[in-house]
Structure 1
Amino acid sequence: MKYFVVDAFATSKFTGNPAAVCLLDTDLPDGELQMLAAEFNLSETAYLQRLEEGYYRLRWFTPTIEVNLCGHATLAAAHVLWAHCEVAVNSLRFKTRSGDLTANRGIDGVSLEFPLTPISSVSSAENTALHDVTGGIAAARRAGEDLLIELADEAAVQSFIPNLSLIAALPARGLIVTAMASREPRVDFVSRFFGPAAGINEDPVTGSAHCALAPYWAPRFGRNELKGRQLSARGGDVGVVIAGDKAILSGRAVTVMAGEIY
């Protein structure tokens, strides 16, 4: 079985978010898929299986669990099909746990059509738990499977020290920490993502989180086209456009390595 390691939401290697993309020739047991993801030990390992021309089954595994949605590994999967598998069509569809997703190839990179994540109020118990994680929260929201907190400014997001045990105990897949950008005029908001309960202490660039960050920040800016920057050690930029009930995520990807799984 062939595999590729791709840095997604990146324009050069060793930046953005690395994902392993495995090309399945046949079905494998879920336990083997999970053990292989643990062997790669990246935020996500994506498994691609061709169903028909331009249509693929796509699954995503962290080192410990299978997840419902992953942006960077979907971008990596589309990149592999176009860059290494001689796929000619410019629009790809993926059959996933979150329904059919679409990736489109353009001159400025890849755009992904993802479901928009609804934003809602947190419960009193969630609010208390989030204040235990950190003080000085400007706002707290439920963001689908995740919880989201806004901090005072970009510097607070950059210097945020996560208490991973408390974050792992939150009733959520992970924690999104965000603030309005202040250091780069072409960036609207910044964020970080922590998912220790899912086997990811800090995710370098989290596409799925931007499906919630877009509707959170769009009313503040009065527009539906935004740019986010994730302030992990590797860093990465995600363009996002709200189009009806969809979040259109955009970015580039770079192949770092390829090999064969025995």
Structure 2
Amino acid sequence: MSEKKVRHILALSGGKDSSALAVYMKDKVPEMEYVFCDTEKELDETYEYMQRLSQYLGKPIHTLKYKSGYGFDEILKLKRGYLPSVQSRWCTECLKLVPYEEYIGTDAVISYVGIRADEPHRTGYISTKPNIKTVFPFVEGNIRKADVFRILEEAGLGVPAYYEWRSRSGCFFCFFQQRIEWVGLLERHPDLFKQAMDYEKIDPITGERFTWIQNESLAELARPERVAAIKEQHAKQQLYAKKNQAHLKLKDVFETEDDGETPCLMCHL
């Protein structure tokens, strides 16, 4: 009986780095399997980009979901209506990690992660399961941010359209979004902004507020005067970043209100 082959799997988030890694590895590992953990709450731009990427790769991108095909709304009910947060990232666990590891099963797998050579502070998805080996081809190949853009441009893909106003992939209501990105959602996808706002609630007994942003509801953020203030603050931050670019970390160039928390890298690569 022949020994079972090692599987090669690359999980795509819909972001530039994992997409560029798929292009980079296309001819290096022809047997690569591509997967996308669908929360059912991604931006239309993300789904459109996944279709284009699949056509370029000449292979299907397997869509993975939680047990019984559950999406975000079904799991939210199981969580008794408690929204995910920085303190409780059940969205990443249930909608990304569990489907991915279920897809792998007990097979011997090499998992490819798009951490770049200029990101020594990031670790990405590393499973503790003994049958999964995680590798970082961009680190090994000294591939940096500029190289990622070059790889995608040369492939004729470019970057997903949401990069015009958003710094990362993920659910349209991701709680790691900066306020300027919420403004972008409000202006470009008002229907999705309304959906995100509808998830927020106030406990009628305790008065406790369950909102995506700490200390601010989306209804409050959407007020014209608040939107104007956020835009003004972001413009000042960008101007400061431009003047001091050589001394700033990458995240400081875009983010205006970083809370020091690290986004879920399984979602945002």
* TM bracket (short chain): under 0.3
Larger relative strand fraction: 1
TM-score, normalisation: structure 1: 0.26
TM-score, normalisation: structure 2: 0.25
The structure with the largest alpha-carbon Rg is 2
